[in-house]
Structure 1
Amino acid sequence: MSAIFNFQSLLTVILLLICTCAYIRAMAPSLLEKHKTGLLGIFWKCARIGERKSPWVAAFCIGMAFSILFMQ
């Protein structure tokens, strides 16, 4: 089943996107800084969410990990 039709898979993909973009911005900030608008601006926005809301993102990642490991 596609991640679009399964809510838990969709949340997993979004969390992975946020974490990946924040990591890329921490390692190589110039890759995301030049694309603040347009379609590639989504990655810059995900990186900002990952930086500013990092305790919340970490809590959701831990919650998702427990959900995947123990509830399926």
Structure 2
Amino acid sequence: MSALFNFQSLLLVILLFICTSSYVHATFPAIMDRNKTGPLGIFWKAARIGERLSPYVSLCCIAMAVSKLIE
């Protein structure tokens, strides 16, 4: 089943996208800051979400990991 049709998989993809964007922004901030607008701006926006809401994102990642282990 595709991640688009399975809600739990879609949430997992979104969480991984936010975490990866935050990590890349912390490692290479110049690359992300150049592309704040346009199609590549979604990476910058995801990095902002990951930086500003990091406690909630980490709790969601832990909850997703627990739910995957239970499955």
C-alpha separation between the residues in 2 aligned to 1:5 and 1:14?
14
Instruction: Spell out structure 1 runs of 4+ moving beyond 3 A.
Output: none
Partner AA of 2:24 in structure 1: I
Q: Identify unmatched segments of 5+ residues in structure 1.
A: none
C-alpha separation between the residues in 2 aligned to 1:4 and 1:56?
23
C-alpha separation between the residues in 2 aligned to 1:31 and 1:64?
29
Please give the secondary structure, in 2, of the residue aligned with 1:68: helix
C-alpha separation between the residues in 1 aligned to 2:56 and 2:9?
19
1:26 aligned residue: 26
Give the aligned CA root-mean-square deviation in angstroms. 0.5
C-alpha separation between the residues in 1 aligned to 2:49 and 2:62?
17
C-alpha separation between the residues in 2 aligned to 1:24 and 1:64?
22
1:56 aligned residue: 56
Please give the secondary structure, in 2, of the residue aligned with 1:3: coil
2:65 aligned residue: 65
TM normalised by structure 2 equals 0.98
Q: Identify unmatched segments of 5+ residues in structure 2.
A: none
1:16 aligned residue: 16
